[in-house]
Amino acid sequence: MTKSSPSAAKDRVVIGRVGAPHGVHGELRVFPLTDFPERFRDMERVYAGEDLLPIAGVRYQNEKILLRFTGFDSREKAAALTGRFLSVDRADAVPLEEGEYYTFDIIGLAVRDEAGQDLGTVTEVLQTGSNDVYVVSKKGQAAQTLVPALKSVVREIDLDVGQMVVALPEVWEENAD
């Protein structure tokens, strides 16, 4: 239901982190932080921290991406980028299918039950393998509510309003008191 990708700034989406240089010609290891690592193949430029840099070359090696930037043609020059996060403008995020959301869009949503009762705010998304689980916290309360990201539970997500409506089974509602 959600796709992972932490956000750098409100208007950007983080897609990778620069690792150590690879070889002597300025290639850098990139650890993808996106569900769409193939996106690097067609990219012409990317933000490395706050700098928008043109990409000179991309190749894939196992789980990593080897990336070269124009103007960073030596190991020493490339090493200056180590540790930076790579991001793209929010408008350049990979479009998702209907009913799919980026994790950073879900975190911060107000959560209400079908009767309109405030349950808290999504503070975290756990990726369990079978389905995501939304961690809902209420200010001033230590207890958290875990909401499975299932259509039978999550009835509506409205990003424009900043709200999620859920149908919690009665057993959960009784235990939440």
The CATH class of the 107-176 domain is: mainly beta
pLDDT 10s digits, 97-132: 888 888 888 999 999 999 999 999 999 999 888 889
Query: Alpha carbon of 11 to those of 131, 144, 171: distances in Å?
Result: 27, 29, 40
Question: What's the pLDDT at 6?
Answer: 47
Long-range contacts of 68-72 (CB under 8 A, 24+ apart): 68/25, 68/26, 68/27, 68/28, 69/26, 69/28, 72/26, 72/28
Q: Is 115 helix (H, G, I), strand (E, B) or coil?
A: coil
Find the mean pLDDT for residues 42-66. 93
pTM of the model: 0.69
Looking at residue 90, its pLDDT comes to 87
| CATH match of 2-92 with 2.40.30.60 | yes
Residue whose structure tokens are 């540790």: 83
Every domain range in the chain assigned CATH 2.40.30.60: 2-92
**pLDDT value of residue 96:** 86
Query: Which residues make up the CATH 2.30.30.240 domain(s) of the chain?
Result: 107-176
* pLDDT at position 166: 95
